Structure 1
Amino acid sequence: MSLLLGVVAVLVGATAYGEYAAGTVGWVLVMELVLGAVGIGVLPWLFRRPVRTALALAALAAVAPTATPVATIGTLTVSRVCRLPVAIGVAAAGTAAHAVRGLWLPMAGLSYGWWLVLVVVAHAALVAIGALSQTRAALIDSLRERAERAEAEQGRRVAEARAAERAAIAREMHDVLAHRLSLVATYAGAIEYRPDLPPEKLATAAGVVRGGVHQALDELRDVITLLNEDTSAADSPLPALDDLPELVEESRAIGTPVDVRDTRPEAELPGPTGRTAYRVLQEALTNARKHAPGQAVTVTLDGTPGGRLLIEVCNPLPPAPAPAVVPGAGSGLVGLTERVRLAGGRLDHRATAREFRLSAWLPWPA
């Protein structure tokens, strides 16, 4: 504000000097100096009450040329902070004030007509500059708002991506560890409930438990490497449907008969589909081992490239509920259903009085 008042004071002084050089002396020059000083004193109110102050400055400009600089600033300020109709009204008042002054105090060397033209053009330019300033400020505010909204949207997307990644890792850890630990728990249970077994069988069971724990740790390490940005996915191959024989042998080794009926043609199954199919079968065999130990499990695979891969796993239910071998939250099938859905397929499971049946289909690209 101090800088603005200093600049305006210089302009008022320059205008007064020009009037003096043009021959204005005596009380007229004193009046112009006084009105110019009054305009400078009124100027601070321009930012509190812009319209009223600008009209007052325009009235001073109708009497004294030294009030023109402050009146010009008043019109420009109104044009920058007020609506366009208000700015045009203030500019019209300023134009009228200068037209009145041109009648009783004409400018030397300039006709009244050209004086009016210059006044109208100047005030129109002030209104245009103010409107342009408002438009620029509105554009900057809009861009700032859009940037803040985009930043908030980006933050939301990052949070959703992190939540999805955590859910995927949780499903992967469940699929890996539930299967492996159920095998370990089965052998550990045999050691606990049959301490009278021959030493060689106890040693074999203990060896299986130890090997299973090591495998569980290795598989857990493989899952955790997914969190390491410096580790390539190729360094740790993920299981696929081609690993089904090993999965079946593990179940058979602990007393779960598994019959596999694979009628698929000899065709390569894409990696994502093969991994999802493997996880479906792994979870199905783990559930059968936990809830129906010793019962025969039938696995059926069918499908053709360009169509879909069909997976069906069924097993009879025991007469009485089996004791929990491995405690669980019951979320395995929920996570598996979501995994299959994300792969573009569908999973269904149902239990009757005699059997439990799990069915899934996955798209099989040609």
Structure 2
Amino acid sequence: MGRAAAEALYREGESANTVTSYRSALRYWAGWFALRYGQPIALPLAPAVVIQFVVDHATRTTPQGPVSELPPAIDTALVARGLKARTGPPALATLMHRLAVIAKAHQLENAANPCADPAVRELVARTRRAYAKRGERPARKAALTREPLARLLETCDDSLIGLRDRALLLFAWSSGGRRRSEVAGATLAALTRMGPGEFVYQLGWSKTNQAGADLPDNAKPVVGAAGAALEAWLHASAIRDGAIFRRIRRGGHVGEALSDAAVRKIVKQRCEAAGLDGDFSAHSLRSGFVTEAAARQVPLAETMAMTGHTSVATLVRYFRAADARRSTAADLMGELADDDGRAESGSAKPR
């Protein structure tokens, strides 16, 4: 399908994770279209095709429960071809991502975008509304705030792997909630030692600075516990140049740079070792940093300087949630006293 569009997507300079997600979405579109219409996919797609894609993958409520229009035989075939992990409708976020990717593919080929068709836009809007009315919200990874992060650090011993993982976790969290691609791509060339256990890391490329512009906020302090852990790891590993965080091979040999996937695996394994309940991922370090900053009432501008967020709206929800928990209006009833002078919480004692 649209080979030129796919190649243009890959050339955009996106992160490896973004490219992988684009490829996956485009492969899914091609597989679904071939099974649905019995021919190879070709751009531009008609709006009716996109509408069919939506009703095939979005659920609607019926007396028999939630249903979608994807024929079971096609659903099974998509699983057999490795285009989806299991039968059944995808999450709403997955459906919306696939629509965004096919819209981008049309844009890059200068083709009429079927997702911009009024009928398609109305259907997508009503689909979102239907999911919201059912109380279904986008799933978010649990946040690794200070307390659960401390439990992860307790699982890190003084072996090379333990020293590396402690340094990695603290570097990622304390320097503003670095993304896994940023952790995997961290190099000694961008690290400046300011004193014993004190560093400044120059973040050259990030999701919000894909051109690698030299910005004042690129400098991320790595101090305190994070600086001490990084110092210990660099001393034990004897790394002098190249990637900071690396594989540890058998026999305690320091190997090549960690991949994005390896960073995610380390976080998940440490969460399991710590016995944490919840759905955690590498992104939990980023959301945990922001959540902790909001709870401690760190100024929004200071938090954004650390995280690299360019949108205030993205961070405001964390700060509003923290403010709601501190709100004096949340418990105006306070404590009530019964006839014996004992304090009661909530409504008055029934008589």
Same fold (TM over 0.5): no
Structure ID, larger Rg: 1
TM-score, length basis structure 1 = 0.18
